[in-house]
Chain A
Amino acid sequence: DAGITQSPRYKITETGRQVTLMCHQTWSHSYMFWYRQDLGHGLRLIYYSAAADITDKGEVPDGYVVSRSKTENFPLTLESATRSQTSVYFCASIAPGQKNTGELFFGEGSRLTVL
């Protein structure tokens, strides 16, 4: 089925380790986003991408790296994980027809725990 898939869905890692969260979409949407969701903060934008090879920082980019070599993939890397990065991470995309309205389609989320 078409959609956004994230992997892994659950991950436990240790402080200092590198972690990559994968996001794959089958719609060929141009815009893709990474959000983190934490209690008391709602969804906060980490990075976004307007197209392949075009990425930009969101509200909370520190400690994260993204790349977008292909339209369908938008991986998020924590280069040296910290406990404060324990969170649920959502990947999302926006359809071309929704660029005027902002309706996002979300992946199922990746729950990351940093010990």
Chain B
Amino acid sequence: EDKVVQSPLSLVVHEGDTVTLNCSYEVTNFRSLLWYKQEKKAPTFLFMLTSSGIEKKSGRLSSILDKKELSSILNITATQTGDSAIYLCALYTGTASKLTFGTGTRLQVTL
């Protein structure tokens, strides 16, 4: 069974702080690693990473994959209260188009 582990499980920061969320996995052969943001409802897609060392950026969010370390990080700079959410990491091996999700990191940004 593919295993995806996220850390920390939860995090409380002040607005303006920078946070780093971690995702580690055990599978070495996979097609992509995906990050999702989940507020009150359905998860929404953030990033898809396939190649090691190439950073993906979207505004204050960025993510990078390290295939040597079997991990990925999601960085959020200058956090805002609107960043409060559960951040999910998922691994896609390509088998039957299934994703394996981590447990998620719950981020709370306070004023």
Contacts and interface: CB of A to CB of B under 8 A. Distances in A.
A42 B48 contact: no
Interface residues of A, number: 26
Interface in A11-52: 31, 33, 35, 40-45, 48, 50
A100 interface: yes
Contact of A102 (B48, B88, B104): B48
A109 B103 contact: no
Query: Chain B, interface size: which category?
Result: 20 to 34
B111 interface: no
B42 A42 contact: no
Contact of B31 (A31, A43, A101): A101
Contacts of B34: 101-103
B90 interface: yes
A102 B97 contact: yes
Interface string A65-105: 00000000000000000000000001000100001111110
